[in-house]
Structure formats: structure tokens, C-alpha cells
């Protein structure tokens, strides 16, 4: 399997796992069949569409390649038909979201490199690929996006994309490098949820701001 096929595979697996997270969240909000399918597709392909537009990959793969739509619809169907089994997973939305986060961060960063963009842009667009769909999901479901809270979410995607870009610039293009970078991102995300890692907030200043408000 060549490198292009590997990263296409990563993109499709990330699409499927992100779509499951979106479908589960939509199902929990009691949306109808169309609502579940729409949220699943938006979560699965939204970040990738933004990435492709930014790097000049027009039309975006999420809109021009039927496999992405099929993957998101398949994930929605699995969630609808096997929802009791999916619910048995501990915090299923966060679990599948963590897997999709890692897969999209790595695939997105590598695709930017393939289109001859520099390391900085590759890392940023890898992060956008990973978090964009989750932001769209949360906005559609009237929730505060995870990247605006204290959770280690975008930071984990940034880390995974950075690891992948670092491997590429070091000339390490073996089969294991994308898996390692993906695992690094997923483990950081899952560990942050398990151990309660959070980014710092500035409570003193926020409290002072509230006190100064009329």
C-alpha cells in the first residue's frame, strides 16, 4: 500500500469514527433520522472540507468523493441500529471523538505537506481538520465547543500533527509513523480525560472583570 493510499485510509477511518461521535451526540439530543445523518456528515467531513479549501484541493474530497458520504452514512446507520451497544461504551462520544481527532490530525497534516505547504501550515491545518467537525457538531447541538473549554482537545490534535510533521521532516516515512503520531494524539486526549488534565484559567482576572461589570 503506497503512502497516498495509507493517508486516504486514515481519512476514511477518521471520517467513520467522527461520524459515529456525531451520530451518538445527535441521537442523545433525540434528533430525527435526517438530523442524525446531517450531524454525522458535518462532524465527519466539516474539518476536512475546510482543510482542502485552505490548501487548494478543490473540490474538497468530502464533497467530491462518494466514499466520505458513504462512510458517514454507514456510521449513522450503525449508531441507529446498534445504539444500545454503542451506549455501553463509557462516554462514547468522547471515545470516538478522540480516535477521530488523532486520525484527522495526522491525515490533515500529511495532506498539507503533500500539497507542498510548510511545516507551520501543515500543523495548523492538521489541527483544523481534527477539531473543525467537532466545533460544527457542538454549534449545531447548542453546546459550548470543546476547544473553547479547558479540556486538552485542540492541544492534543496540535501535538499529533506536530509529531507527524516532525517525522516527515526527519525523513522517517515508514509505515509505523502515522500510527505512532495518531496514537500519541489519542493517548494525550484520553489521558487528559482520565486524569483531569486541564489548561490553566485565570480566575482572579475573570472574577475582577465580573466585579467591574455594571
Taking the domains of the chain in order of start, what are their residue ranges? 3-212
Handedness of CA 157, 185, 175, 69 (dihedral sign): negative
What is the pTM assigned to this prediction?
Answer: 0.76
Give 207: exposed, middle or buried? Use CB within 10 Å, 0-12, 13-18, 19+: exposed
CB 189 within 8 A of CB 156: yes
List CB contacts of 26: < 8 A, sequence separation 6 or more: 35, 36, 38, 39, 40, 141
Closest CA to 27 of 90, 76, 89, 97: 76
pLDDT along the chain (214 residues), means of 10: 66 82 87 92 89 88 90 91 76 75 88 87 92 86 78 89 92 83 92 83 56 49
pLDDT at 7: 66
For cell 433525540, name the residue.
30
pLDDT at 98: 83
Tens of pLDDT, residue by residue over 145-192, are 877 776 788 899 999 999 999 998 888 877 788 889 999 999 999 998
Amino acid at each position: 500500500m503506497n503512502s497516498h493510499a495509507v493517508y486516504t485510509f486514515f481519512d476514511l477511518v477518521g471520517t467513520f469514527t467522527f461520524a459515529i461521535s456525531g451520530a451518538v451526540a445527535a441521537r442523545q439530543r433525540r434528533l430525527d433520522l435526517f438530523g442524525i445523518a446531517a450531524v454525522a456528515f458535518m462532524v465527519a467531513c466539516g474539518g476536512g472540507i475546510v482543510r482542502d479549501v485552505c490548501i487548494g484541493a478543490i473540490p474538497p474530497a468530502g464533497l467530491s468523493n462518494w466514499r466520505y458520504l458513504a462512510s458517514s452514512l454507514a456510521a449513522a446507520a450503525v449508531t441507529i441500529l446498534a445504539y444500545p451497544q454503542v451506549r455501553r461504551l463509557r462516554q462514547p462520544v468522547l471515545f470516538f471523538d478522540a480516535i477521530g481527532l488523532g486520525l484527522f490530525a495526522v491525515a490533515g497534516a500529511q495532506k498539507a505537506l503533500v500539497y507542498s505547504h510548510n511545516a507551520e501550515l501543515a500543523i495548523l491545518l492538521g489541527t483544523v481538520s481534527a477539531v473543525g467537525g467537532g466545533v460544527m457538531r457542538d454549534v449545531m447541538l447548542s453546546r459550548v465547543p470543546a476547544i473553547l473549554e479547558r479540556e486538552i482537545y485542540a492541544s492534543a490534535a496540535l501535538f499529533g500533527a506536530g509529531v507527524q510533521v516532525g517525522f516527515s521532516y526527519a525523513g522517517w516515512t515508514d509505515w509505523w509513523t502515522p500510527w505512532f503520531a495518531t496514537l500519541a494524539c489519542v493517548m494525550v486526549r484520553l489521558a487528559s480525560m482520565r486524569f483531569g488534565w486541564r489548561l490553566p484559567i485565570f480566575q482572579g482576572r475573570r472574577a475582577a472583570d465580573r466585579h467591574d461589570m455594571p
